[in-house]
Amino acid sequence: MELSKKVQSMQNSPIRRFNVYSLEAEKNGKKVYHFNIGQPDIKTPPEFMEAVKGFNKDVLAYAESGGSVDLQKAICNYFSKFGMSIEPKNVMITNGGSEALSMVFTSILNEGDEVLIAEPFYTNYHTFITAAGGKIVPITTKAEEGYKYAVKEKILPLIGPKTKAISIVNPGNPTGYILSREEMKVLVDIAKEKNLWLIADEVYREFAYDGREMTSFGQFEEVADRVVIIDSVSKRFSACGARIGCIVTKNEDLCGAVMKIAQGRLCCPTLDMIGAAAMYGVDPSYFDAVKKEYENRRNVTYDELMKIPGVVCQKPGGAFYIMAKLPVESTEDFLVWLLTKYDNNGETVMFAPAAGFYATPGLGKDELRIAYCLKAEDMKRGAELLKLGLEEYKKQGNK
Amino acid sequence: MELSKKVQSMQNSPIRRFNVYSLEAEKNGKKVYHFNIGQPDIKTPPEFMEAVKGFNKDVLAYAESGGSVDLQKAICNYFSKFGMSIEPKNVMITNGGSEALSMVFTSILNEGDEVLIAEPFYTNYHTFITAAGGKIVPITTKAEEGYKYAVKEKILPLIGPKTKAISIVNPGNPTGYILSREEMKVLVDIAKEKNLWLIADEVYREFAYDGREMTSFGQFEEVADRVVIIDSVSKRFSACGARIGCIVTKNEDLCGAVMKIAQGRLCCPTLDMIGAAAMYGVDPSYFDAVKKEYENRRNVTYDELMKIPGVVCQKPGGAFYIMAKLPVESTEDFLVWLLTKYDNNGETVMFAPAAGFYATPGLGKDELRIAYCLKAEDMKRGAELLKLGLEEYKKQGNK
């Protein structure tokens, strides 16, 4: 039986497809430090389960397709703290940030349309854009240049008649790069000049370190009709399993288009929306504590990584990922080796090989992504295992 | 800003887009009987919330992309009662039956590919197939002919080089039609002969009345590699707000393709999967009681409808919908009138106009779909309102 061309051209998740090796290793009694996935060990605010447990209706019924009004209002209130005036009609609740991206690309891309995105990029952008019939045109960045991409001379030559959007993850996944307000303005001006959508994935908004101030693309009034903010409770509240995200845009045509798709899948899970709305009411001190915790984890991880001879790595400014280049030919081979052939006192480490984060063939083979969302001592030990493992890997004659 | 052609060609849900009128009517104090949406008032099994409340981990984490193993196993166990041997690897958990359909069509359809489906059909098939770049080719059926569609002479002329699948909802939504085993065999043979996928949406499996025995397409071993079963807890357990469905197929290539898309959206909601797994453990007497209840609701609704002069309607054999033809030019106009201009003792009724359930332009304008999933006395009163409303509508000179 034949499958569609688009699904054949999709890749398996480089973050999840190695799970088969780690599950096997864990079955054999190895402890695996999971640096591969952005699954924080920070506690989910108890407000979530308290609200869920309070559900006392006899029937677990459908919700509105655009999301529960309570949650929409909670999100508007949250954005108002960033000086943004958002109304419930501008907020479409989605099954995580993932569905938000998928719905937006389905709404704006025709077959063969192009989306500009800085590479390395969060790998599922490839999945969503391909499924919508579109194509990624990468703005290639390098660790050595600090992953800078908001440069007019770099971007303009990539724009052609098929270009429909610039897609931005800020703070960046996997680079942790944070755009300055000036850099955001560069992208805003290009979008205006070239009539492009600006898809701003800001799910890591709170995670900006070293005193950096986070600006949202929603604060640029001059492009309000072309800015689409992608958001999610997954990372913000360490509630990845709730699968609640949203699309925020003042472009009413896009809201209408998204609504058509949203009505197709009927609604988001009722209980999770109740829980999510409650979480948005947490005290702001929650974010301060979480940010401080991640900042420390970043420092510990970065310091450990820098002990590895030959590593190339930038200290990230935000989110909870580090990209690093290792002195190996293939981080994928190294990863499989770590999971199947290596342990130190019964322990090993897992990361995401970075080739899948690039659209340009051949790039990223010697790079990896580390999610520093485990507690500091685990990050330290995992990074040490990376160093020890690499020494052993080399000693055994691997390249 | 430009939107994609595919989203422009999608329709707004004819089930949900009139909500604006009913919300307004309810705001003005009218009681509206909601016959428009398949939202049962049957109690959700308490096993759901009990299991959810038992969740006591600190972190609400991601689940596996294909679904939690507990839920996969519970579903395999459920299918074993129908004599079907399904393994967890054959079961992909999805965000409701809706996502299941969307993933399957994305996996099998190229731009311009065709899917055969009996019309009238559940309107969101249009949404999912269009979003995947495909096109519906309708097998037109009529109330006067009992909505029969599994007829070789009717189907073969519709099959061309672009045809990729036959999509079946059995028991049918919106017709309530149930295929006999012989009719299923006709479709199975066509699929084999013409090398087509068989997408069998069997979410109403338990709701077969008058002693009818339900057969699943999963019981035809000779097409195991081309059968894809779409399933959901929404109707079975009156748990529409849980958004848990699944794809069941023994075609491993398709499982692999679906997994790529599933990894893109990461996972289904963790709590809802816990609740769903618990519901699959309910006592079989639950289904008997629910079936008896729906059968009674169908009888009451049908009897009331038959009192309307000029109505054309078949007594449905399954699911919980009735299609009916009314002596009006446009059921859509009549519906808007019922919601905005009519009441009887402060009450009115809402249904789904049926034009959106047809792919052939012009068909279904004088038809409506009623979901008989409210308690019998509400169904009786709502159907009476339909009769009284129609009399008044005509008296005022409407056609």
Looking up residue A322, the CATH number of its domain turns out to be 3.90.1150.10
Residue B14 has pLDDT above 80, yes or no: no
Query: Which of A3, A131, A241 shows the shortest C-beta gap to B269?
Result: A241
Same domain, B113 and B208: yes
DSSP B6-63: HHHHSPPPTTTTTHHHHHHHHHTT-EEEE-SS----SPPPTHHHHHHHT---SS----
From chain B, the residues in CB contact with A6 under 8 A are 106, 110, 133
Q: What is the pLDDT of residue A144?
A: 85
pLDDT of residue B16: 74
| CA B249/CA B91 separation, integer angstroms | 7
Residue B37: the pLDDT is 86
Quick check: is B398 in a domain?
Answer: no
At B287-342, the pLDDT tens digits run: 999 999 999 999 999 999 999 999 999 999 999 999 999 999 999 999 999 999 99
Burial class (CB in 10 A: 0-12, 13-18, 19+), A101: buried
Residue B284: the pLDDT is 83
Residues spanned by the domain of B58: 47-279
Q: What is the CATH number of the domain that holds B82?
A: 3.40.640.10
- Who among B61, B164, B260 is closest to A241 (CB)? B61
Does B321 map to a domain? yes
A5 to chain B, minimum CA–CA distance in Å? 6
Q: Which residues of B touch A263 (CB under 8 A)?
A: 12-13, 15-17, 124, 127
Residue B170 lies in a domain: yes
Residues 6+ apart with CB under 8 A from B279: B44, B45, B47, B48, B233, B237, B239
| Co-location of A263 and A296 in the same domain | no
Amino acid at residue number B376: A
What CA–CA distance (Å, rounded) separates B336 from B17?
Answer: 11
d(CA B57, CA B270): 11
User: Is B399 within a domain?
Assistant: no
Nearest-by-CA chain B residue for A194: B1
A118 sits in which H/E element = strand A114-119
Q: Which residues from chain B sit within 8 angstroms of residue A265, using beta carbons?
A: 95-96, 98-99, 102, 124
Q: Give B19's contacts in chain A (Cβ within 8 Å).
A: 64
Tell me: the pLDDT tens digits for B32-70? 999 998 888 899 999 999 999 999 999 999 999 999 999
Whether the CB-CB separation of B392 and B172 falls below 8 Å is answered with: no
Cis bond upstream, residue B316 (ω within 30): no
Say yes or no for a CB contact (<8 Å) between A241 and B271: yes
Using DSSP, state whether A346 is helix, strand or coil: coil
**Residues of A with Cβ-Cβ distance to B107 under 8 angstroms:** 3-4, 7
In this prediction, residue A296 carries a pLDDT of 96
Residue B193 has pLDDT above 80, yes or no: yes
Do A33 and A58 share a domain, yes or no?
A: no
The residue-averaged pLDDT of B248-254 equals 97
Q: Which residue of A has its CA nearest to B53?
A: A53
- Considering the domain architecture, whether residues A271 and A312 belong to the same structural domain is answered as no
Of A279, A300, A324, the position where a domain reaches its end is A279
Q: Which residues contact residue A47 at a Cβ distance below 8 angstroms, ignoring those fewer than 6 apart?
A: A275, A278, A279, A281, A282
B66 in a structural domain: yes
Say yes or no: A219 and A365 in one domain: no
pLDDT at B47: 96
pLDDT of residue A284: 83
What pLDDT, on the 0 to 100 scale, is given for residue B244?
97
Instruction: State how far residue B341 is from chain A, nearest Cα, in angstroms.
Output: 25
Q: Is-contact B209 B295, C-beta < 8 A? A: yes
Answer yes or no: do A127 and A227 share one domain.
yes
Cβ–Cβ of B55/A43 closer than 8 Å? no
CB A159 within 8 A of CB A116: yes
Q: What is B107-122 written as a DSSP string?
A: HHPPTT-EEEEEES--
So what's the pLDDT on residue B392? 97
Q: Which one-letter DSSP state was computed for residue B365?
A: T
Does B274 reside within a domain? Answer: yes
Confidence check: pLDDT of B274 > 80: yes
- B90 and B194 share a domain? yes
Q: Are A389 and A339 in contact (CB under 8 A)?
A: no
At which of A264, A279, A294 does a domain end?
A279
Question: Do residues B72 and B176 share a domain?
Answer: yes
pTM of the model: 0.93
Q: State the Cα–Cα distance between residues B178 and A279, nearest whole angstrom.
A: 45
Show which of B279, B304, B323 is a domain's final residue.
Answer: B279
Claim to verify: residue B304 and residue B237 sit in the same structural domain? no
Residues 6+ apart with CB under 8 A from B342: B348, B389, B392, B393
Nearest residue to B199 via CA among B84, B121, B85, B112: B121
Specify the pLDDT at position A38.
83
Does A192 share its domain with A245? Answer: yes
Asked if residue A105 lies in contact with residue A129, where contact means CB atoms within 8 angstroms, the answer is: yes
Give the model confidence (pLDDT) of B117-161 as tens digits: 999 999 889 989 998 989 999 999 998 888 999 999 999 999 999
Instruction: Quote the percentage of chain B above a pLDDT of 70.
Output: 100
Partners of residue A40 in chain B, C-beta under 8 Å: 59
Spatial distance between the Cα atoms of A261 and B10, rounded to a whole number of angstroms? 8
**Residue A96 three-state SS:** helix
Q: Quote the minimal CA–CA distance from B337 to chain A in Å.
A: 23
Distance CA B149, CA B187 (A): 10
Which residues of chain A are under the pLDDT cut of 50?
Answer: none
Contact A298, A316 (CB under 8 A): yes
Selecting from B226, B239, B269 the residue whose C-beta is nearest the C-beta of A272 gives B269
Over range B101-115, report the average pLDDT: 95
Asked if the Cβ–Cβ distance from B58 to A44 is below 8 Å, we say yes
Asked whether residue A137 falls in the same domain as residue A230, the answer is yes
Q: Could you identify the residue written with the tokens 């709730």?
A: A242
Residue B351, pLDDT > 90, answer yes
Least Cα distance to B269 among B74, B55, B115 occurs for: B55
Within this chain, do residues B67 and B202 fall inside the same structural domain, yes or no?
yes
**Which ranges constitute the DSSP H helices of chain B?**
5-9, 19-27, 47-53, 69-80, 96-108, 124-131, 152-155, 181-194, 252-264, 270-279, 285-305, 331-340, 376-395
Query: How many separate domains does chain A show?
Result: 2
Tell me the chain A residues in contact with residue B371 when contact means C-beta distances shorter than 8 Å: none
**Nearest chain A CA: its distance from B19 CA (Å):** 10
Q: Say yes or no for a CB contact (<8 Å) between A96 and B266.
A: yes
Radius of gyration of chain B (CA): 21
